[in-house]
Amino acid sequence: MKVIVIGAEGDIGQAACAALSPHHEVIKVGRSSGDLHADIADRESIEAMYEKAGTVDAVVCAAGAVHFGPLTEFTEEQFMLGLTNKVMGQVNLVLVGMNHLSDGGSFTLTSGVLDRDPIRLGTGAATANGALAGFVAGASIELPRGLRINVVSPGMLDVSEPRYGAFFPGHEPVPSDKVGRAYLKSVSGAMTGEVIIVE
Ligand SMILES: NC(=O)c1ccc[n+]([C@@H]2O[C@H](COP(=O)([O-])OP(=O)(O)OC[C@H]3O[C@@H](n4cnc5c(N)ncnc54)[C@H](OP(=O)(O)O)[C@@H]3O)[C@@H](O)[C@H]2O)c1
């Protein structure tokens, strides 16, 4: 299958690519990294990415920004970062991508652990993650032509511990190869409408 991976050079993206590459043709995408460039925050850029890639069989997104900060200091603008970037960026990948995927193709989005196991400063991420679960449940029963959609919800990756470990006290890091296999399962398998928890 021909699979687009957005955020391919990030911690999760690299794990997904490592699992997918032996089985599928992977096209790596980032704003400035990868084979193709696109910004999920910009719908026109998403449209241009699909035009360049041609028909694809699967789309994986491992990108999405949120603001981290104390709830008591959160501004509306800071909340909107998670909603416009992590949520609507991935929603737009689906809305635009529906017309570019082959019959029976799939979307695999990325959320994260924080809506089920919250940490301090993480309300923006928890909100975005919950929204993505709702989107995937709703979209899965309406997608045309046998298209599937899932969202992978990993805990903190082992490779991300140096960056995020201090914010996740007591959290067990998740092996990156286990996270990668969740993306392979979503792309190559038959599941749809699922939040694939990896912890
Ligand atoms: N790391 C973890 O432990 C973990 C756990 C659970 C959930 N998550 C979630 O998973 C997502 C990815 O996390 P990560 O830690 O793997 O990120 P990361 O290491 O910071 O990498 C992000 C990747 O996405 C690309 N990217 C960033 N913004 C983009 C945009 N607007 N459009 C297109 N590409 C973009 C970046 O490349 P360019 O700079 O070239 O654009 C980079 O390759 C985030 O939403 C995060 O909240 C992460």
Residue closest by Cα to atom 41 of ligand 1 = 31
State the sign of the Cα–Cα–Cα–Cα dihedral 163, 164, 166, 171. Answer: negative
Asked whether the beta carbons of 87 and 128 are under 8 A apart, the reply is yes
Distance 148 CA to ligand 1 centre (A): 22
Burial track 10-37 (b if 16+ CB lie within 10 A, e otherwise): bbbbbbbbbbbeeebebbbbbeeebebe
Atom of ligand 1 at shortest distance to CA of 9?
Answer: 43
Measure the CA angle with vertex 112, ends 139 and 116; round to 5°: 95
Asked whether the beta carbons of 38 and 29 are under 8 A apart, the reply is yes
pLDDT of residue 196: 99
> 70-91 pLDDT, tens per residue?
999 999 999 999 999 999 999 9
Residue 131 zone, left/alpha/beta (φ > 0; ψ -120 to 50; rest): alpha
Which residues form the pocket of ligand 1, taking CB atoms under 6 Å from any ligand atom? 6-7, 9-13, 30-33, 38-41, 62-64, 66, 86, 89, 110, 112-113, 125, 154, 156-157, 160, 164
Per-residue pLDDT of the chain (199 residues; tens, 9 = 90+): 999 999 999 999 999 999 999 999 999 999 999 999 999 999 999 999 999 999 999 999 999 999 999 999 999 999 999 999 999 999 999 999 999 999 999 999 999 999 999 999 999 999 999 999 999 999 999 999 999 999 999 999 999 999 999 999 999 999 999 999 999 999 999 999 999 999 9
pLDDT of residue 197: 98
In a mutational test of the pocket of ligand 1, which residue from 28, 110, 163 has the highest number of ligand atoms less than 8 Å from its CB?
A: 110
Distance 64 CA to ligand 1 centre (A): 6
Distance 91 CA to ligand 1 centre (A): 16
